[in-house]
Amino acid sequence: GLVNTNDLFKKAIEGKYAIPAFNFNNMEQLQAIIAACVETKSPVILQVSSGARKYANQTLLRYMAQGAVEYAKELGLNIPVVLHLDHGDTFELCKDCIDSGFSSVMIDGSHHSYEDNIALTKKVVEYAHAHGVSVEGELGVLAGVEDDVVAEHHTYTRPEEVVDFVTRTGVDSLAISIGTSHGANKFTPAQCTRDENGILIPPPLRFDILEEIEKQIPGFPIVLHGASSVPQEYVATINKFGGALKDSIGIPEEQLRRAAASAVCKINIDSDGRLAMTAAVREVLATKPGEFDARKYLGPARDELKKLYSHKTVNVLGSAGKA
Ligand code: G3H
Ligand code: 13P
Ligand code: NA
Ligand code: ZN
């Protein structure tokens, strides 16, 4: 069955790697995630966002995730699978997910006042822990679009708050803000420098803040949201076949590798999967105009997703071989 994050995070911290948290809202994504994680022997966190709940229905997604555990076994390996609510914004939503069989939830109170964030998070933790469900909280606000909340600038996590927050709430992991953001436009070109080939180099993540946080709460599981690297091959393919993505810039993989080796033990990736899928679909539709069987473009999209997810577990997060 589905597992919570406790054992996975303990091992990830000790082993200096990070568990992938991939968002899903359709069958092809889920098949690709499971196939990639079985093949590379990686544990996996399946994330359901508010947007995914609205799009695909929470009950259906939950059955799909439970089915994915069986699917993994059929493919040959019983990998640990977590079903996690991404960016839960109310106690009621978290409770509903817990009651329906999710094994982990995030309560994102980061846009509330500090004391309100603590009160809300603590309430979710009490209910979740009574049901064996793990809880992720958040301190600091990521710039960009965070679900329905639009934040103009980063509010970096304040290291001086983390001990108080984790002890008073009892959370199992803490999402922090050190310069990542959601979506495919994480930086403007003006924020970047250029290398000798004219390639844009984004400003580095604030590893100094991460290190300060690690000093305050040694060995405590840290979560990195907004961690897509926005592969430029996908952006190029999308734009070659009729897309119009502009200034799409992500987090360089080297920085994610560095984060994965630290107390960061969960790395959230959604946008990269969206780009992979869109690139593959656009290419088929543009090059094979006679196709009208959805499997003929969703199939190649699934293949591309599987490649992407395998690359993440093997080359970026280091979770391959840890299942
Ligand atoms: O945290 C944001 C995720 O990428 C989910 O976004 O609500 O559009 O599914 P979504
Ligand atoms: P990306 O938009 O960078 O993929 O981040 C996803 C995320 O943090 C989901 O919670
Ligand atoms: Na780690
Ligand atoms: Zn997020």
How far apart are alpha carbons 136 and 270 in whole angstroms?
17
Alpha carbon of 46 to ligand 2 centroid (Å) = 12
Annotated binding-site positions for Zn(2+):
87, 108, 138, 182, 225
**Domain 6-317 top-level CATH class:** alpha beta
8 A C-beta contact, residue 87 and residue 147: yes
**Residue 111 vs residues 140, 150, 238: alpha-carbon distances, Å:** 8, 10, 34
Per-residue pLDDT 10s for the chain (323 aa) are 999 999 999 999 999 999 999 999 999 999 999 999 999 999 999 999 999 999 999 999 999 999 999 999 999 999 999 999 999 999 999 999 999 999 999 999 999 999 999 999 999 999 999 999 999 999 999 987 654 555 668 899 999 999 999 999 999 999 999 999 999 999 999 999 999 998 899 999 999 999 999 999 999 999 999 999 999 999 999 999 999 999 999 999 999 999 999 999 999 999 999 999 999 999 999 999 999 999 999 999 999 999 999 999 999 999 999 99
Q: Give the residue, out of 205, 225, 251, 312, with the most ligand 2 atoms within 8 A of its beta carbon, to mutate for a pocket test.
A: 225
Tell me, in angstroms, the distance from the centre of ligand 2 to residue 318's CA: 18
Compute, in angstroms, the gap from residue 256 CA to the centroid of ligand 3.
10
User: How far is Cα 13 from Cα 115, in angstroms, rounded to an integer?
Assistant: 29
The answer to whether the CB of 319 is under 6 A from ligand 1 is no
Question: What atom in ligand 1 is closest to the CA of residue 145?
Answer: 2
Q: What does the pLDDT read at residue 171?
A: 98
Is 147 a known active-site residue?
A: no
pTM above 0.90, yes or no: yes
What's the CA gap between 102 and 85, in Å, rounded? 7
For 6-45, the pLDDT digits (tens) are 999 999 999 999 999 999 999 999 999 999 999 999 999 9
Over residues 131-167, the pLDDT tens digits come to 999 999 999 999 876 545 556 688 999 999 999 999 9
ipTM: 0.97
Q: 84, 105, 270, 271: which to mutate for ligand 1, most atoms within 8 A of CB?
A: 270
Which of ligand 2's atoms lies nearest the C-alpha of 180? 3
pLDDT at residue number 79 = 98
Specify the ligand 2 atom closest to the Cα of 87.
Answer: 10
Q: What is the DSSP string of 56-102?
A: H-HHHHHHHHHHHHHHHHHHT----EEEEEEEE-SHHHHHHHHHHT-
Could you tell me the maximum CA-CA distance found in the chain, to the nearest angstrom?
61
What is the C-alpha separation between 139 and 177, in angstroms, rounded? 7
> What ranges do the domains of the chain cover?
6-317
